[in-house]
Amino acid sequence: MPELPEVETIRRDLEKLLPGQIIKDVEIGAAKLIKEPGVREFKRRIKNKKIKGVRRRGKLLIIELSAGFLTCHLKLTGQLIYGEKDNKAKIGFLLSGGKYLNFNDLRLFGEIRLVDDWRNLLQIRRMGPEPLEADFTFETFKGMLEGKKSRIKPLLMDQAFIAGVGNLYAAEALFRSGIHPARTVNTLKPKETEELFLHIKGVLKEGIKYRGSSVDDYRDASGKKGFFASRLQVYGREGESCSRCKAKISRIKTGGRSSYFCPKCQK
């Protein structure tokens, strides 16, 4: 699933392309992707709306319109690509500039909504802080961890705890911090907590710098792959040698998800 760096990369791309354009029409090939309102009402309300800007909250893309907001959650296999009409797209938005905004989704897990105010969405109200915002300080992070006894990896992936961090970036941040993914929060030492805070921010910024990680279906708004996958140190590398100590990368299940780690570097 695209995480914060991938969604932010798409947002930055679309922010350069969409504002000022008008949605002239929408072609819907997979109605189940439209979660609200109903398809007929969605088509009626989206037409002739001017695009004012593109935002992101967690893993959610938010396109501000002249009336209302179009929200897009890519989920597992969603792609939002700007360009010529794609006949295989599940949803295609025809823009006044003659190009299309194509929503592709092989497994149809994505979610598109047209709402009056994105802040009222339940997933938004439940979402934790943005890890790259200035107000997400070490003191804030330390306070969020106090009293918790859960395993650190599933906690980092909990969108109610921190917004936008998923399996890939949690695994990489933990490796850089030397923390085993199955460790419980209450066993973390102050120095480890500080290292983890710094590396969460660091790996997310690096992911954005290299335009996301295309380990699966992720593509940027031009349909191109990101470059961060080549920099992964543990995620998806089971059985390969650790870049630090040459031990074999291992994989276990934590919180029902695969967790990649170095059994020697991460304690």
Q: Which residues are catalytic?
A: 2-3, 59, 257
Distance CA 146, CA 182 (A): 17
Burial (Cβ within 10 Å: 0-12, 13-18, ≥19) of residue 115? middle
Look up residue 223 and give its amino acid: G
Is residue 255 within 8 Å of residue 157, measured between CB atoms? yes
Give the phi and the psi of residue 49 in degrees, each rounded to 5: -85, 135
Look up residue 81 and give its amino acid: I
Distance CA 153, CA 174 (A): 8
Distance CA 9, CA 219 (A): 10
Distance CA 257, CA 267 (A): 19
Distance CA 204, CA 164 (A): 9
Distance CA 134, CA 140 (A): 11
Is residue 49 within 8 Å of residue 65, measured between CB atoms? yes
β-pair partners for 53: 64
Count CA atoms closer than 13 A to 48's CA, side-chain side: 2
